[in-house]
Amino acid sequence: MTEARTLRGLLRGGFTVSARPQPLPGDLRLGWGVALLILVLGASRGQRASIQKIHFLAHLARVKATREQTRAVLKRTIGPQALSVRVEPWVNRAMAFAIAEGVAVMRDGKAAVLTDAGRAVYRDLVAMPILDEEKTFLAEVGPRATEKVIEQIMKMEQF
């Protein structure tokens, strides 16, 4: 709970975090979604990524099995058809909130980029003991998952 409060303070959002008897769906976990979005952008070349790359990495970073499959595809030990990538509505919502908060901007309607404030939040997130598996995955995969490679994977082509 302390980490959630810290994250809320970093994002300066006017929302509250309350304990729930059941986990909330990902698209309703605003702090988690924005944090993961910032980590995806931070792990991308130039801290910039296309919407397709953001959806690709954000979806595949969520679950251990898809993280392992992604690693194997990028190492070329299995083919790209092994991945099932979704366009997640929560990513778009997280992007809208990140832009409204000033931690990211859209460039030419094609790519999101971290702002100076976003880079500061990214550094803070990296230092915090949260989303460790996702951070490890993105640090390993982010630089290798170029826009061209992702395009080929999405078309189920060898790269």
Q: Would you say residue 12 has pLDDT above 80?
A: no
pLDDT range class, residue 8, cuts 50, 70, 90: low
CB-CB contact of 102 with 117 (8 Å): yes
Q: Which two tokens stand for residue 61?
A: 């970073």
Q: What is the pLDDT of residues 92-126, one digit of tens each?
A: 999 999 999 999 999 988 899 999 999 999 999 99
What predicted TM-score, i.e. pTM, was given to this entire model? 0.83
Looking at this protein, which amino acid is placed at residue 72? Answer: A
Domain regions of the chain by residue span:
2-9+28-154
Q: What is the pLDDT of residues 28-75, one digit of tens each?
A: 788 899 999 999 999 999 999 999 999 999 999 999 999 999 999 999
Distance CA 139, CA 126 (A): 10
Q: Which two tokens stand for residue 157?
A: 């082509």
Cβ count near 97 (within 10 Å): 19
Q: Would you say residue 159 has pLDDT above 90?
A: no
- Which range has the worst mean pLDDT, 19-23, 99-103, 142-146, 153-157? 19-23
